[in-house]
Structure 1
Amino acid sequence: MNHSQTKNLVGTALCIALGLILPQVFHLIGAGPVFLPMHIPVLLCGLCFGWPFGLVCGAVTPLLSSVMTGMPPLFPTGTAMVFELAAYGALSGILYRKLRKNIYISLIAAMVGGRVVAGLASAIFYGVAGKAYGFQIFLTGAFVTGLPGIILQILIVPILVIGLEKAMVISKPTISKV
């Protein structure tokens, strides 16, 4: 295993750990669903280490959190979050590395794409669970309740990535084919 691969694996493990710890801190002050703290390390992982690592981080983090802390409840919320966060991690990595190199466009597009995946997964899993879920619930959960978290992500995530690139902790991506 080369140095770069080791750095990516260690960075992904750190992002998973942050994805377990940050929600606990935010839930202590009752701000978890509003600030979406599990999303931040997953988006960072995809942007910093690439889409495969972001996808794994996004899929593993809500499952581990559910098993270890009971938050989110495994079904249907946690299961839907697996798909949502996996999409965030994968899309942020793909868009940043393969297509545009513009961190803001990549981040916002990944956030929108992940929310679409969340809506579809939630519609399926909530339906299987016999719980109400519709377009109004989707819009409220994805955009209204989480608006402070969306703003926080747009402000904090690019600053962290750009800072890590400037400090040469991670490499600035080059454009490559998908």
Structure 2
Amino acid sequence: MFIAIAIVLAQIVKVLPLGTPGAILLPMHIPILLCGFICGKKYGLLAGILTPFIAFLISGMPIIFPVGLSMMFELATYGFVAGYTYKNMKLNPYISLLASLLIGRIVFGVAGAILYGFSNFDFGLQMFIQAAFIIALPGILIQLIIIIPLVKAIEKIQTQNKLPQVNA
């Protein structure tokens, strides 16, 4: 379900009149982070790996190398760290979110430096900071505002309706 939501959000965002709407609003990040928080580290990791690849198969975007592959590492990290820090370590959800965002961006930078090194793209520290923090600032702010309230709302619905909780 989270993979499908991420792919649909990415398709919707593509039509917005922004230069690179996906890089600005980060539509795939929100469902993957939610997956980690709600379903745990294993499903968050798996959803993060699969989402860019499936999106590429469906729409041709993101270009699989080097962009999609570096996104696979980044999103997998978001999903895993969110699930691990929240469900396993029982950290405050805001701390878990901040840890996920920071560690995911570090992984994105390392993966980008390696993968872009095999292509004709130059990926240095300046490009990393611009892509991961400056261009993505609106998406980061959206994540900081909506992720935890969504997690709490989903958990409340699960509790009220006695739905099974995933502990992976």
Q: Same fold (TM over 0.5)?
A: yes
Assess if the C-alpha contact under 8 Å between 1:87 and 1:117 holds in 2: yes
Query: Are positions 1:134 and 2:124 aligned together?
Result: yes
| Amino acid corresponding to residue 98 of structure 2 in structure 1 | I
Residues 92-111 of structure 1 show CA distances to partners (whole Å, capped at 9, x for unaligned) of 00010122331111011101
Cα deviation for residue 131 of structure 1 reads: 1.4
Gaps of 5+ in 2: none
- Structure 1 stretches (4+) deviating beyond 4 angstroms? 169-173
Q: Which runs of 5+ in 1 are unaligned?
A: 1-13, 174-178
SS at structure 1 position matched to 2:47: helix
Instruction: Give the one of 157, 160, 167 matched to 1:167.
Output: 157
- The correspondence for 1:20, drawn from 2, 7, 10, is 7
1:72-111 alignment, distance < 5 Å? 72-111=62-101
TM-score where L is the length of structure 2? 0.91
Q: How many equivalent residue pairs?
A: 160
8 Å CA contact retained: 2:56, 2:62:
yes
Query: Could you tell me the TM-score, scaled by structure 1's length?
Result: 0.86
For the Cα contact (< 8 Å) 1:45–1:89, is it kept in 2? Answer: yes
Sequence identity percentage: 41
C-alpha RMSD over aligned residues? 1.4
Distance (whole Å) between structure 1 residues aligned to residue 86 and residue 121 of structure 2: 36
Amino acid at match of 2:10: P
